[in-house]
Structure 1
């Protein structure tokens, strides 16, 4: 009898120690903004009120040179797999263009962060915009997530029902119909709070992927948030771009010697309807403001639960601000649930201050994002800026390191593609990036290679350009004819990467057709 009791006590102690060990592992929260420009939050230059994100940066580390893939589906695929998008199967978007690198679905020889952490006893949670295959065999639950609330098919939804998009909302496997009080940014956060509380109650560390739709078009926001900014942008594009640029220099986001890229917007005084332009940017600002408010709600809950200190929060954007200029329902009130409008190239140029180009391009304006890393328990030197270049493929190996999780060699009999990126935590703690850090980019024929401080870049069907980003971060001084040896080396390395990843000339033709997938 005594022996039996001792065995029971030992087993209970072992169970308690196991639960304690699991709870000591950090929670991971990855927050992804959609189509947010580089300068659109306060800590990178904006006049938009983002006190919660600014506070995370101030009590964490802000990376000023994090790179994405310049478009939504490819970035999400790279983030979740730790691979270049072509390796993952998303060389373009979520449509099958007839080749493995462009099949628009995860390839059989890749695995997601959620699948790996799920095997390591993490509660895996996905909220918001998926856009990586909405069929059941490709949705979040099929790719390692235990809980999900959001829109498998994609974004473009704030109010419900939504105009202009065929979108359905799911709670795990159940199709749900939101009511008229629903706003996607708020709803995603509601379930982020609910699912994380559930994990805490169950003594499970959790990995949360919170993919907001904001501030992607259409411009739709709560009237109270819009009114906060209405009239604020009446001074025009040049005023706010210069104001953001000067603030960036004061904050140390860019060097004081940095030159602002050439303006790419209309003269404000030439506009017929300045009030409409002011309103469009006010709505866009309101969408970011509301996202920040909701991030504050999540942070407050984690603090109340005693989990904030041991939760790693990562925040960044899937691409730069867009140059899309559309208004599908011109009779609708701007910002309302019936409107479908984008803020246009002019304001996109302001969003991407101080850089050139936009979403889908591989110049800096399309591919660079701030990255906030916040972890009170694990980051001792806070409030720092890191100018070291990193890539979203670095997120996966970083999370593996933080959670003491091994990357598997095989999945369902398939040998997995090795991870591309590297753990960035040494950089978080103040170390320097390796001088030969290599990154490659391609989307719709726009191409780039960055190795160290040198960047080779081209717009589809145009000539290659070469820049020294250390001296010329805004890509103004093209050195292609002065540094031919460096340019040729980068071209060779890009071509080797392209061959290894299965890149095809753009437009990619499916079944030998000439139809370009937009």
Structure 2
């Protein structure tokens, strides 16, 4: 009879092997967590109050629902200008570190090269190296030469306008900006092209085409809307016909009242003084009202397309595993532009801005794009996380910055920020993940955020903000008691002002920030 001793002898070894197989994934029923898809949607020159969920009368149900189902950050900051914000958004660095301290002109200085430095790495480059399909649609504006285009900075698929914005209908007689798809100039149908629609449709098509790869995707959709020129589809303009004939002040008052109802500001807070002309003294109030109708139509169409994208994700069972972030690159733009005098705003033959209405878009804050007062750098940030990530939904008042977006994307993807990329040393990230704030933690009160654009400067630490307009002295505000920057208290806190001035100068030195004007003057020929 065969002895059972041999089986008993090896039983401990068999049990260890069984445990090892299980630890290595031997359990076929155990599901490996799937990495989330990540979508970042950037609006252009949209102010703080331009969404329904932040006080607007404009119809934005899709973004409002995203905010309701997710988190609306109400103390979120960008930079004062389009290109710098895009640079910070994609790299997690301050814009001057990336070489885009102003726009896309090369001023032969490290902070002002006009394109992304090789010492900066983009979210797309990192995620592409870590198993993501990377997609971009829309406005690039981070380097005009092909060597700096999206396909050379980590995006496997790109459809849009490398040179910048300003294009709704196509072609346009006002700008020499062409549409490209993966490096090839496209032939667009002028009867159907409207950039907000096309950018969305092409983004969806890229996602659809990549489904077979069984990879998560990262989509950066940089819309032109609602940047000037005021150009919108007739059916969208019609929705807002007559709505703005009451004037700037009345709409600001309506928005501020709604903001208080939504809990964005305390009931006893008084709004800033209007930075616009008196409505009854305008020469042509009807045209001025129509401008805002067109602007509203542009925002409305933007929201419609976000709804289209969400519907696609839901239809394809992707929505529950997709993070969606929505933000603007800066506040509403006060620039007075009219390249089509005598033409009614709204169509392809008009090229005009909405000017004074920017003060309404930025309700209740002061100033606008290019400035470092709140109206220029504070806009809504909507964060909608995948279903399995538990966050505290609703309003979030913790300060955050556009440099935090990349860090958040990498944390969601489970990816580390690199020290080197393609043989280049990468500057350390300046951003902090927003995910911790979304889960209920508070911003580090010692963290200092910085801004500079065209000599306009600012920093914020906790409740303190110090601001210097180009031709003014430094001002100091307590943002908790004075969120609208009405009471300059710098004379009451000289030591704090001195401390912040020293910190700001050090930041400038460390981040390639030049005193304005930073552009090198050309020598005159004899």
What band does the TM-score fall into relative to the shorter chain? over 0.9
Match of 2:335 in 1: 324
Tell me if 1:100 matches 2:110: yes
Partner Cα separation in structure 2 for residue 140 and residue 151 of structure 1? 10
Matches within 5 A, 1:122-161: 122-161=132-171
- Aligned equivalent of 1:466: 476
| CA distance in structure 1 between the aligned counterparts of 2:390 and 2:297, rounded to whole angstroms | 33
Please point out which of 401, 421, 432 is paired with 1:422: 432
Residue 487 of structure 1 deviates from its aligned partner by 1.0
C-alpha change, 1:513 and 1:479, in structure 2 (3 Å) is: farther
Aligned to 1:193: 204
Q: Find the partner of 1:230 among 217, 227, 241.
A: 241
Q: How does 1:254-333 map to 2 (within 5 A)?
A: 254-333=265-344
Deviation for aligned residue 1:191:
0.8
2:193 corresponds in structure 1 to: 182
Structure 1 stretches lacking a partner, 5+ long: 1-13
Bigger mean CA deviation after superposition, 372-381 or 273-282: 372-381
Equivalent-residue separation in structure 2 for 1:435 and 1:497 (angstroms): 18
Deviations 1:52-87 (A, max 9, x none): 000000000100011111100000000111000000
Call closer, same or farther: CA 1:23–1:202 in 2, change over 3 Å: farther
Residue 397 of structure 1 is matched in structure 2 by 407
The separation in 2 between residues aligned to 1:105 and 1:513, in whole angstroms, is 24
Measure how far apart 1:134 and its partner are: 2.7
| Structure 1 CA distance for aligned equivalents of residues 351 and 488 of structure 2 | 38
Distance in 1, matches of 2:345 and 2:63, equals: 27
Please identify, of 355-364 and 250-259, the stretch whose mean Cα deviation from structure 2 is larger. Answer: 250-259
Equivalent in 225, 229, 245 of residue 256 of structure 2: 245
3-state SS in 2 of match to 1:137: helix
In structure 1, what is the Cα distance between the partners aligned to 2:391 and 2:103? Answer: 39
Is the 1:60–1:376 contact (alpha carbons within 8 Å) kept by the matching residues of 2?
Answer: no
Q: Identify the residue that residue 494 of structure 1 maps to in structure 2.
A: 504
Question: Does the C-alpha gap of structure 1 residues 46 and 323 become closer, same or farther in structure 2, counting only changes over 3 Å?
Answer: same
Structure-2 separation of matches of 1:502 and 1:21: 47
In 1, Cα distance between the equivalents of 2:109 and 2:42? 28
Choose the corresponding residue for 2:516, options 493, 506, 512: 506
- Shift, 1:198, TM fit: 2.1
Match in the other structure for 2:90: 80
Secondary structure of the corresponding residue to residue 495 of structure 2: helix
CA distance in 1, matches of 2:203, 2:267: 40
Shift, 1:91, TM fit = 0.8
**Structure 2 CA distance for aligned equivalents of residues 201 and 351 of structure 1:** 42
Per-residue deviation at 1:291?
A: 0.3
Cα distance change, pair 22–39 in 1 and its aligned pair in 2 (3 A): farther
Match of 1:3 in 2: none
Name the SS of the counterpart of 2:228 in structure 1: coil
Shift of 1:495: 0.5
| SS class of match (1:194) | helix
1:22 Cα offset (Å): 8.6
Q: CA RMSD in A?
A: 1.9
Deviation (angstroms), 1:511? 5.6
Looking at structure 2, the residues matched to 78 and 427 of structure 1 have their Cα atoms a distance apart, in angstroms, of 20
Structure 2 CA distance, aligned partners of 1:46 and 1:32? 18
Unaligned runs of 5+ in 2: 1-23
| 2:419 paired residue among 409, 428, 431 | 409
Mapped contact 1:379–1:428 kept (Cα < 8 A): no
The residue number in structure 2 matching 1:339 is 350
Q: Decide whether the 8 Å contact of 1:245 with 1:354 is kept in 2.
A: yes
The TM-score normalised by the length of structure 1 is: 0.94
Where 1:124 maps in the other structure, the secondary structure is strand
CA contact (8 A) 2:77 2:379 kept: yes
Alignment partner, residue 490 of structure 2: 480
CA contact (8 A) 2:157 2:182 kept: yes
1:435 equivalent in structure 2: 445
Q: Deviation at 1:196?
A: 1.4
Equivalent pair of 2:36/2:386 in contact (CA under 8 Å): no
2:392, 2:440 within 8 Å by CA — same for their partners in 1? Answer: no
Cα deviation, residue 203, structure 1: 1.2
For the residues of structure 2 that align with 1:194 and 1:338, how far apart are their CA atoms? 30
SS at match of 1:365: helix
For the Cα contact (< 8 Å) 1:316–1:369, is it kept in 2? yes
Mapped to 1, the partners of 2:85 and 2:225 lie a distance apart of 16
Q: 2:54, 2:91 → 1: CA distance?
A: 28
Point out 4+ residue stretches in structure 1 off by more than 4 angstroms.
Answer: 20-23, 511-514
Between the two proteins, the alignment pairs up a number of residues equal to 499
